[in-house]
Structure 1
Amino acid sequence: MIELAEMIAQLRTELSAAMSAARDEELRFELGAVELEAEFVVERSGTAEGRVRFWVVEAGAVGHTGNSTTHRVTLTLEPRLRDSEARPQVSGDAAERER
């Protein structure tokens, strides 16, 4: 399992790589809303700080254990370039299972 923040960071890395690939391309695509659906486990730690963590689970690993419960969430992310309202331009080779 990975934390939700790590999954979003990995998505940002992949989108940044696609933007880099688009720099010299004749045909580019404007990146619109990114919908991300994940199943995750909410877990409350028993420490004094009582932190709540969101762990993304792999397909087929749905269930619950101890003090955790599995939920499904859909996030809609609106990518923007730093200090700009412009939408990023992306390109590059299609990845396996990419739509």
Structure 2
Amino acid sequence: MTDIELADAIQSVRDQLIEAATRSAGRPVVFEVGDIQMEFTIELRKEVKAGAKVKAWVVEAGADGTRTTGQTHKVAFTLKPTNAATGGPWKVGNEDLGSTDGFGAGPGE
């Protein structure tokens, strides 16, 4: 099992939202990102070598049947992404402008 820090898991979602927004720059259609609900099973560990810092590690579901509920915790939270420059809602889009060709046409038309 590869350990993933909770902060890295959240950063991955943030990076992918930024990538989606970057791809939509200058496009006529964008989508407002609504609330993002995230839920993880985590294991808290104290790292002595890092100055006794406690870190939360995401645990893969079913990865280790020997873990007990005393060692793992469920964390759930909702993120509401906003545009840091405007304070408004975060928007993403798609590079492909798409087409309405064949929209509403029946089979074989």
Q: TM-score, normalised by structure 2?
A: 0.69
Matching residue within 18, 23, 26 for 2:25: 23
Letter aligned with residue 22 of structure 2: S
Matching residue within 42, 62, 67 for 1:64: 67
Deviations 1:41-85 (Å, cap 9, x if unpaired)?
0112346943211000112125538xx711111121111111432
CA–CA distance in structure 1, aligned partners of residues 50 and 18 of structure 2: 38
- Cα distance, 1:92–1:43 mapped onto 2, change above 3 Å: same
Deviations 1:11-59 (Å, cap 9, x if unpaired)?
1110001111222333321011111111110112346943211000112
Q: Runs of 5+ in structure 2 lacking a partner? A: 96-109
Q: TM-score, normalised by structure 1?
A: 0.75
**Structure with larger Rg:** 2
Sequence identity (%): 32
Most deviating of 5-14 and 84-93? 84-93
Q: Runs of 5+ in structure 1 lacking a partner? A: 94-99
Most deviating of 52-61 and 23-32? 23-32
Is contact 1:43–1:69 with CA below 8 Å preserved after alignment?
A: no
Matching residue within 8, 11, 19 for 2:10: 8
Letter aligned with residue 7 of structure 1: A
What value does the CA root-mean-square deviation take over the aligned residues? 2.4
CA–CA distance in structure 2, aligned partners of residues 33 and 48 of structure 1: 34
